[in-house]
Amino acid sequence: MIKIDRYRCGYCGACVTVCPTEAIDLLGLWIEIKDEECNGCKACVNICPVGALELEHVV
């Protein structure tokens, strides 16, 4: 699952644009990732300009 650092996020929307499964909801100053729709492709992690997203491995 993707972990969001909400203090870092600048709400630019880049991750929303790049997500192939539309798993990211961005509404004003609120961002949320629907775990059940995320396939772990890391596109959002790679595009985020401020490094606010991180792929967490569930053990």
> Would you say 22 or 59 has its CB closer to ligand SF4?
22
Supply 4's token pair. 């969001």
Provide φ and ψ at 3, rounded to 5°: -100, 135
Buried b (16+ CB within 10 A) or exposed e, 32-48: ebeeeebeeeebbbeeb
- Residue 56: CB minimum distance to ligand SF4, A: 11
- Residue 3: CB minimum distance to ligand SF4, A: 10
Positions touching ligand SF4 (CB under 6 A) are 2, 9-15, 18-21, 23-24, 26, 31, 33, 38-44, 47-48, 50, 52-53
